[in-house]
Structure 1
Amino acid sequence: MDEARSGHAEGVPQERPAKRPRLADSVTAASAGSCEWAQVISAVQPAIVALKVTFVVSFEDEQAAVALGTGFVVDKERGLILTNRHITGVGPVRALAIFDRHEELEVEVVYRDPIHDFGFFKYDVTKLRFTETAEIALNCEDLCVGTEIRVVGNDAGEKLQILSGTIARVDRNVPEFNTVYNDENTFYAGAGAGTSGGSSGSPVLNKSGHAIALNAAGTDGAASAFFLPLDRVCYTLKSLREGLPVQRGTCQASFLFKAFDELMKVGLLESHEHRVRDKKKAATGMLLVDAVLCEQKKLRPGDILLSIEGQICIDFVYLESILDSKVGSSVEVIVCRGGEELTLDVEVLDLHSLIPRSYIELGLDVVHSLGYHAARKTHLPLDSGVYLARPGYVFESLGCDWGSLITTVNGKATPSPEAFVKAIEDIPDRQYFTVHWYDLRDFRHLP
């Protein structure tokens, strides 16, 4: 089972000189050796920070607690730090960034991706006193099999650990987490880097000193580490630098990459394979619809994506670029369903609007709307009820635990937080009332 990691950077490193050698112009990805790796690490070290994040309020399956991990500066002029989504959190947070010279600065979340495991913090660049300003350039083009890498972060809670590895594959489907949240619609890269808690959010560096991926997860009991490619990260960073909203679109479906031989078993025709291979010689498979929201009435699990907007689509980068550019409109999709070609006009929704951004607190109970990830995981409509992120004095007395979906209160349906407020606002103080809910963790229905 794959599991996301986070840990505390408690170690205190030795004092290092403020000035460090910069990367030599002659260092290239092909020529760099162990000596050049030392230059790479020395040059990027001031840009790598330890993050201490307090989740102030329980939100979705994220309990109020302290999370610790790694981040790195990607824009030193604007003070932007890249890290994982499970480090930025999904609810209200307070966070500190501990820089190379042990300086602690408060940081605030400026972006959380609704799907992929990345987010951005921002710090006040004028408050940095001792640490040399530095940033790590992002390069999403150099992520390829055989690339020698270093993962520099706070592995196992030790400040600034350096792990080595070689990219073994770049077409792995997303790791499966035993949580409400799960990434989708992207490849992950894999390497035997042996990362563990605390290294979440670390840059995956090549010999040129560029970040080619973001460390995101690993496998317990094995050396396997999983890295998020930076295509959507670069897209988001560009929008943040330009002060523009980050458009993220969804067709309310998640896709997986499957090999041609596997797709033949669910209806792919040989003519479809030949058509793809004529256009893309190196193709080994295509995208398959894995799951859809209940609101998605056109696409079905098992549909094989043949084209989108008239172009053959066999990778997630092109798929997401199209969806992000079509928010609020629709796309023409051709799929193969049971050996038959179907042309569908699929609506593209704003993905940010499907993620909970506010909550209601009642006697320490915390409830919010049912979000995209919980709805997809349980295959329930988004308006099925409100999600109990933390049981307090009211709902805990009923035996209602976190992760429950409250469907009615006092005989009134609660499809949204607004409906929940209306259902409880007329109940007198100290008055009993009826509640119906589902325990989403094992999907029991309790009266």
Structure 2
Amino acid sequence: MAALLAAPVRAEIPGKVIEQAKSCVVSVERTTAIGINGERSGRANATGFIVDLGRGLIATNRHVSGTSPAKYRIIFRDGSTAQARLLYYDPFNDFAFLKVSTDAFRGGVTQAGFAKGGALAEGSEVFLVGNNESYEYSVKTGKVVNLAVHKPPRQTLSIQTSFDRTGGASGSPVFDAKGRVAAIHSLGSDTSSFEVPAAYLEDALYMLKAGTLPRRGEPWVKLSPVLLSDAARNLRLPKEAADRIRRARPGAKRALMVQKAVPPARLEPGDVVISAGGAVIGDDSYLFDKMADLAAGGEAELEVSRNGGLVTVKTPVGDAQALKVTRFLAFSGGLFTPYTPEMRLATGYAGEGALMVGAEKGSPFYRAGTKSEEDHRLLLTEFNGRKLAGLADLEAAAAEIEDKAPVNFVAVNLASINRSPRADWVNADLKFWPLKTYSWNQDELDWEVKP
């Protein structure tokens, strides 16, 4: 009976290791002025960690830094503070880097060291240091549950751990038992959490340290893992292809299937990816990402299973860095951005235009939305008789509008099941909501506003 009631044996991580790990951890406060890309204005508190003392770089989550105009304050363990700027956020994975003056680093702070590839296995002890439920430098311990799970919005490779969910822990470093960063905490539930592998951060840091922005490829698809047995039965995956995956990746149970695709992708929903550039992919979305990164701005050659046969597809790969929202407009109360690949894949609508992502209450364009901040997603396709191929067309057309003049437009409501274009109109109010353009200046790491 005593043996049955005995507590399970759990390895203890030395206190010295945990204490040393805390020295690279910081608190992050973000105040967002204007929300774009589905983000809201307001304040948020989270965690970050120092990854480069010499360059003043701090890692946190993309959903912490945001992609909108914002101000950042870093709070160090000794209580000192520093202002930060957003240096880089990843287009797909949940991490970003903030930059502070190196003068902000005082005695006692250290730079995080990264774990080597293969340092973790299922069952490995890990711990997290963060601002869990606003308690600074609180520690959670847990285990690796699964080394390879896929989380939305894309084919993001994540590590599943046994940490329970807590507010304020976003952006926390996840350490192995030796105090090396193996991942960054991203999201969780009441029973488990999901972490972005450190390899993604290290790849980006390598480029940043070389003085260039990380190169990321946009394949214009959303992938989803599928069991090889299901792919064979339901998608007619050839046995020879499944065998190749198992030989190249011993123990593999899944492959990556194209769930969604939008132009200009030449991949099709239901395609099962076998290899890229001759390398068998299996369900290794990190390897797929690296293939896309190398092909950014050109084409990638992939072997896929399609309708029971094996075909080679050369598909365009966009430059994800260039496709980020680096310019947006405010006009007559509406907020307009480019129609991004992320939104195309999320909505499944492949048309062209300028996307209205929000509108101020009481403004002319607020009436044109759905009266809900979350659902202000109108894709304007025509504006005063002018076809809109993108944001630049809207900007040129809006510049010709005078105060109180009628504005006719055609739009598709992406928040509605009915995607039929509809005509509407508003009367411009430029006294209270004049035309403004917001442009990202990478050299200054700040948004410029005109006029």
- Paired with 1:61 and 1:165, the residues of 2 have a C-alpha distance of 32
* Structure 2 residue 380 is the aligned partner of structure 1 residue 410: no
User: Which of 342, 345, 359 is equivalent to 1:373?
Assistant: 342
CA gap 1:149/1:225 in 2 versus in 1, 3 angstroms: same
Shift of 1:107: 0.7
- Paired with 2:402 and 2:370, the residues of 1 have a C-alpha distance of 21
| Contact 1:140/1:229 (<8 A) preserved | no
The one-letter amino acid of 1:436's match is V
Q: Percent identity?
A: 23
Shift of 1:33: 5.3
Partner of 1:438: 412
How many aligned residue pairs are there?
Answer: 404
Q: C-alpha deviations, 1:7-62, integer Å up to 9, x for none?
A: xxxxxxxxxxxxxxxxxxxxxxxxx953x531112112121111100112110210
CA gap 1:112/1:382 in 2 versus in 1, 3 angstroms: farther
Partner of 1:122: 99
SS of the equivalent of 1:276 reads: helix
Shift of 1:135: 1.4
Shift of 1:400: 5.2
Shift of 1:185: 2.6
| Contact 2:157/2:196 (<8 A) preserved | yes
Unaligned runs of 5+ in 2: 1-9, 424-451
Partner of 1:80: 57
* Structure 2 residue 260 is the aligned partner of structure 1 residue 285: no
| Contact 2:331/2:398 (<8 A) preserved | no
The one-letter amino acid of 1:425's match is A
Partner of 1:148: 125
The structure with the greater share of residues assigned to strand is 2
The one-letter amino acid of 1:304's match is V
- Paired with 1:382 and 1:230, the residues of 2 have a C-alpha distance of 36
Partner of 1:138: 114
- Paired with 1:137 and 1:394, the residues of 2 have a C-alpha distance of 52
- Paired with 2:245 and 2:196, the residues of 1 have a C-alpha distance of 26
- Paired with 1:109 and 1:223, the residues of 2 have a C-alpha distance of 32
* Structure 2 residue 346 is the aligned partner of structure 1 residue 354: no
| Contact 1:362/1:394 (<8 A) preserved | no
User: Which of 156, 169, 180 is equivalent to 1:199?
Assistant: 169
Q: C-alpha deviations, 1:328-348, integer Å up to 9, x for none?
A: 222221110111111111222
The one-letter amino acid of 1:411's match is G
User: What pairs with 1:22-421 in structure 2 (closer than 5 Å)?
Assistant: 34=12, 36-129=13-106, 131-139=107-115, 141=117, 142-174=119-151, 176=152, 182=153, 184-219=154-189, 222-264=190-232, 265-296=234-265, 298-314=266-282, 315-381=284-350, 383-391=352-360, 393-399=363-369, 401=371, 402-421=376-395
Q: TM-score, normalised by structure 1?
A: 0.86
SS of the equivalent of 1:190 reads: strand
- Paired with 2:248 and 2:160, the residues of 1 have a C-alpha distance of 27
The one-letter amino acid of 1:39's match is K
Q: TM-score, normalised by structure 2?
A: 0.85
Q: C-alpha deviations, 1:345-395, integer Å up to 9, x for none?
A: 122210122221111122443211111211111112262332333346230
The one-letter amino acid of 1:283's match is A
| Contact 1:74/1:138 (<8 A) preserved | no
- Paired with 1:47 and 1:343, the residues of 2 have a C-alpha distance of 47
Shift of 1:233: 1.2
| Contact 2:334/2:356 (<8 A) preserved | no
The one-letter amino acid of 2:67's match is V
Q: C-alpha deviations, 1:167-199, integer Å up to 9, x for none?
A: 01012121x4xxxxx2x2332111221122110
- Paired with 1:400 and 1:434, the residues of 2 have a C-alpha distance of 18
The one-letter amino acid of 2:166's match is S
- Paired with 2:166 and 2:144, the residues of 1 have a C-alpha distance of 17
- Paired with 1:277 and 1:397, the residues of 2 have a C-alpha distance of 56
SS of the equivalent of 2:48 reads: strand
- Paired with 2:369 and 2:66, the residues of 1 have a C-alpha distance of 27
User: Which of 429, 435, 444 is equivalent to 2:403?
Assistant: 429
Q: C-alpha deviations, 1:53-90, integer Å up to 9, x for none?
A: 01121102101111211100111221111110001111
- Paired with 2:146 and 2:95, the residues of 1 have a C-alpha distance of 20
The one-letter amino acid of 2:244's match is R
- Higher-RCO chain (CA-CA 8 Å, sequence separation at least 6): 1
- Paired with 1:61 and 1:443, the residues of 2 have a C-alpha distance of 19
The one-letter amino acid of 2:132's match is D
After TM superposition, the runs of 4+ consecutive aligned structure 1 residues lying more than 3 A away are: 389-392, 397-401, 443-447
Shift of 1:140: 5.4
Shift of 1:237: 0.7
- Paired with 1:109 and 1:338, the residues of 2 have a C-alpha distance of 45
The one-letter amino acid of 1:45's match is K
- Paired with 1:117 and 1:227, the residues of 2 have a C-alpha distance of 9
Shift of 1:151: 1.2
- Paired with 2:116 and 2:349, the residues of 1 have a C-alpha distance of 36
| Contact 1:386/1:414 (<8 A) preserved | no
Q: C-alpha deviations, 1:258-317, integer Å up to 9, x for none?
A: 221121121112221222222332222211112112332x20111011111122112122
Q: C-alpha deviations, 1:245-267, integer Å up to 9, x for none?
A: 31111221122222211211211
| Contact 1:414/1:423 (<8 A) preserved | no
The one-letter amino acid of 2:188's match is G
The one-letter amino acid of 1:199's match is A
SS of the equivalent of 1:322 reads: helix
| Contact 2:215/2:319 (<8 A) preserved | yes
Shift of 1:98: 0.7
| Contact 1:60/1:403 (<8 A) preserved | no
- Paired with 1:84 and 1:292, the residues of 2 have a C-alpha distance of 26
CA RMSD of aligned residues (A): 1.9
SS of the equivalent of 1:420 reads: helix
